[in-house]
Structure 1
Amino acid sequence: MMRRSPLVIIFFTVFIDLVGFGILLPLLPYYAESLGASSLQVGLLSTSYSLMQFLFTPVWGRLSDRYGRRPLILLSLAGSCLGFLVFGLAHDLLLLFAARMVAGVAGAIIPTTYAYIADVTGPEDRARRMGLVGAAFGLGFTLGPAIGGVLSPYGYGKPALLASAMAGANLVFAYFKLPESLSEETRRQARKRHLSFRTFTEAFMNPRLGILLVLLFVVTFAFSNMEATFGLLNAHLYGLSARQTGYLFTYIGILLGLVQGLLVGRLVKRIGESLCMTLGTLSMVFGLSLMPFAPDIPSYCAIIALIAFGTGINNPSISSLLSRHSGVDEQGGIMGIAQSMGSLGRILGPIWGGYTFGAVGIRSPFITAGCIMALAFLLTLENLRRG
């Protein structure tokens, strides 16, 4: 049984990272433009965060297998504190890029928090505990933009200073309260493994892990594709204002928090992770495909709920299955590869969505995402067949 103190710290580690990300999300374009950034540079600022996550998540994961979760989590919290501080004090674009890249490297620790939970929980509780981390995602993403909006009149950098202070407080708390989850023997065995590209290839050659990693990429790609073009669809098709779009983002965040915090654990106990994954994928197929065809706003909100439900049960279910099919000394490395696949989806999804929205048509990002998710649904059926 997991002690409450470590769970609280892990929850707040993820929560504060997402609050910081969310605080900066609505402010980033304005802050960058005030420092003379072009629209391309604004886009590159957004990409730099996910790119750093993509590059560093396998490194964090393998290092946490070798040297323990605790030192890596503490280092990440220190990095978040520094990244937010530099962002808040930046006076030129170079510092702004540096801040986002440091924050991206620090944010690459998220899979290690999943590995920590896998270390200290039994298989029967794992999906529920990982669902709580997912709830921290949803809650942080919900509160972050609201906090950023409230504090923005005081300057674009001030909200980042608050995020830095929160990360610093969590660092102090974790330093005194967070125990190590891996035994010295497990770490010693992991240190015998070499850090190499073979870790990637071995994971994808594993029939069970390979399917799960591809599914994670597709789910993240589809959701990020939707997220990037959400405001454009609202404005051009449904005539919604920026404020109304913000309310819908908050609505999505609340739904994700409720699904991952309250529903996932109960659902997994009834039907298991694999069937949950199939159900979540099917929900996203319908949600994404129907999104640009809603007859009215209440119907639109119901369709959005399908996407939030599907995403909310998919991510913890996939993470739980990945940990179940990984060796004890491979948890961090596999979770790191998984987070890299998610980061790759967050890099490529918005590019695809933006391109097809302008080049093909308003509805095209959502229709194509629905079709891609239909292929993912077939993969979940194959996963069920393998048992």
Structure 2
Amino acid sequence: MQRKALLVVYLALFVDMLGFGVILPLLPFRIEQLGGTGAWVGAVLTAYALAQFVMAPVLGAMSDRYGRRPLLLASLAGSAVSLALVGFADSLVMLLAARVVAGLCGGAIAVGQAYAVDLSDPEHRTRALGMVGASIGMGFVIGPAIGAALAGLGFTGVSLAAAGIALINLLAGMVLLPRRPGPNDAVPPRRTPGAHTALAHAIRLPTLRPVVAAVFVSMCAFAAMEATYALLGARRYGLGPAGLGLVFTGVGVVMAVVQGGVAGRAADRFGNRRVAVAGAALLGAGLAVLPFTPPWLGYPALALVAAGQGLLGTTAAALIADAGGRALGGMLGVGQAAAAAARALGPIAAGVAFDLRPGLPYYLGAALCGLAAVLLLRSGRAHARATTIETGQPA
């Protein structure tokens, strides 16, 4: 029953991301049709990340208070509404507002992570979080392919098809999502920490603060690559839209495989923190060599980037979950907020850096990954000191 319940959570998150992925390839063209420029494309994409930054800790903390199932269902309902609004948007302002609604419901990731932790044994926590990441990643990989296949329906038709997928996902979740309470659901509402408490806890704890900071800086590095690789690939390798689509599909598949199959096994053997540090090192190494590699080495470098991000993202979430306690959802929401802030700021900074020198976003990203590794090691030393104080024995 536990395994079946986890599969339902994974499926719900996969379909949720699938719905967004379906409209992703057509969204920039719709913005142009409505009279928008490249700045509007950036604004619409950034609006989602900023709204997610604000709301992820709130939804996570609310799931601690009221239960995972109702909050995940509410997020899925919000996704269906936002996709329908995108389809009917006939102005740039309406389109921007629809993406804000989608971002406000983007806390489904943090709630889903907490749900998976609740349904997992402690020794299988990292594997469960890895499968959450893999489910989300595959939704982004498959969704754009479906969107491209449905392009003949027009933007409104594709958006409404995506909204229909999201609605079916909501109805399936209402029937299939387990009602069994997790450990945090049994805590009376008045005793469950809120979002502001989770944020303060994350900032105050010396074992947790460096992990959240590492999530932010490493995601800045990865988002910078996502934002500028199309330009770099076109200049260095002559890649067009089709070639770039295949590249990013490959990156998504590698990440999903690492998150769903490799990260958990590696964490079982070496521990979450060591695997997270290794992930930061792989991500940094891949970014450092991308700007000057010949074409035949560019793809292995991208595989390093994808594998590093997959390892780091999964094990960092597990480290945050380990410190969650009763505020598990809120803590995971803080981690998602840090990633969302990076996705909002990273591409902007990367674009400016790319204009100065094409390789600069990648060199800076590699440096940020080095900083992430240092932060993770620092959190390990803080954890060892805390364990020594609590038990009187060295960690």
Q: In structure 2, how many angstroms separate the alpha carbons of the residues matched to 1:11 and 1:198?
A: 28
Bigger shift: 62-71 or 376-385?
376-385
Partner Cα separation in structure 1 for residue 182 and residue 297 of structure 2: 51
Q: Which moved more, 1:184-193 or 1:57-66?
A: 184-193
Letter in 2 for 1:317: T
Residue of 308, 332, 337 corresponding to 1:340: 337
Write the deviation string for residues 187-230 of structure 1: whole angstroms up to 9, x where unpaired. 54443356463432221110111111111111211111110111
Q: 1:308 to 1:202 in 2, by over 3 A?
A: same
Instruction: Give 1:16 deviation, angstroms.
Output: 2.0
Q: Deviations over 1:305-326 (max 9, x none)?
A: 1010101111111111111112
1:1-387 correspondence runs (5 A)? 2-4=2-4, 6-182=5-181, 186-193=185-192, 195=194, 197-295=196-294, 297-327=295-325, 329-358=326-355, 360-385=356-381, 386-387=383-384
Q: Helix, strand or coil for the counterpart of 1:197?
A: helix
Letter in 2 for 1:326: G
Match of 2:392 in 1: none
Q: Taking structure 1 as the reference length, what is the TM-score of the superposition?
A: 0.94
Quick one: distance in 1 between partners of 2:74 and 2:192? 22
How many Å separate the matches in 1 of 2:156 and 2:296? 36
On the 8 A contact 1:70/1:181 being kept in 2, the answer is no
Distance in 2 between residues matched to 1:357 and 1:9, nearest whole Å: 42
Specify whether residues 190 and 288 from structure 1 end up closer, same or farther in structure 2 by C-alpha distance, changes over 3 A only. farther
CA shift for structure 1 position 135: 0.8
Any idea what SS the aligned residue of 1:180 has? coil
* Contact residue 69 and residue 180 of structure 1 kept, 8 A: no
Alpha-carbon contact 1:224-1:346 (below 8 Å) kept: yes
Q: State the Cα distance separating 1:293 from its structure 2 match.
A: 1.2
Give 1:79 shift.
Answer: 0.7
Match for 1:309: what amino acid?
A
Instruction: Tell me the distance in 2 between the aligned counterparts of 1:185 and 1:64.
Output: 9
- Cα 1:196–1:246 shift into 2, 3 Å: closer
Q: How many residues get paired?
A: 383
Q: Distance in 1 between matches of 2:191 and 2:37?
A: 48
Find the aligned partners of 2:18 and 2:249 in 1 and give their Cα distance.
13
Verify the 8 A CA contact 1:17 1:107 in the aligned structure 2: no
Mapped to 2, the partners of 1:19 and 1:188 lie a distance apart of 33
Larger deviation: 31-40 or 273-282? Answer: 31-40
SS of residue paired to 1:3: helix
d(CA) in 2 for partners of 1:252 and 1:184?
A: 35
Q: Structure 1 residues 181 and 220 mapped into 2: Cα distance closer, same or farther (>3 Å)?
A: farther
Secondary structure at the aligned position of 1:285 is classed as helix
- In angstroms, what is the RMSD of aligned CA positions? 1.7
Report Cα offsets for 1:252-306 as digits up to 9, x if no partner.
01111111112122111111111110110110110111110112x2210000010
Structure 1 CA distance for aligned equivalents of residues 227 and 253 of structure 2: 19
Aligned to 2:391: none
Q: CA deviation at 1:31?
A: 0.5
CA distance in 2, matches of 1:108, 1:196: 12
Unaligned runs of 5+ in 2: 385-395
* TM-score normalised according to structure 2 size: 0.92
Distance of 1:185 and 1:26 partners within structure 2: 39
Rounded to whole Å, the distance in 2 between the matches of 1:221 and 1:21 is: 22
Q: Distance in 2 between matches of 1:158 and 1:300?
A: 37
Q: 1:319 to 1:173 in 2, by over 3 A?
A: same
Which whole-Å deviations, capped at 9, do the CAs of 1:145-166 have from their partners, x for residues lacking one?
A: 2112222232122222222111
Q: Which amino acid aligns with 2:157?
A: K
Tell me the distance in 2 between the aligned counterparts of 1:369 and 1:236: 20
Q: 1:185 to 1:354 in 2, by over 3 A?
A: closer
Give the deviation of 1:383 after TM superposition.
3.1
Letter in 2 for 1:321: L
Counterpart AA for 1:284? L
TM superposition shift of 1:183: 5.6
Q: Structure 2 CA distance, aligned partners of 1:86 and 1:229?
A: 29
Shift in Å, 1:92: 2.2
Q: Say if 1:198 and 1:106 are closer, same or farther in 2 by CA, change over 3 A.
A: closer
1:377 Cα offset (Å) = 1.4
Deviates more, 1:83-92 or 1:194-203: 194-203
Is contact 2:215-2:372 (8 Å) kept? Answer: no
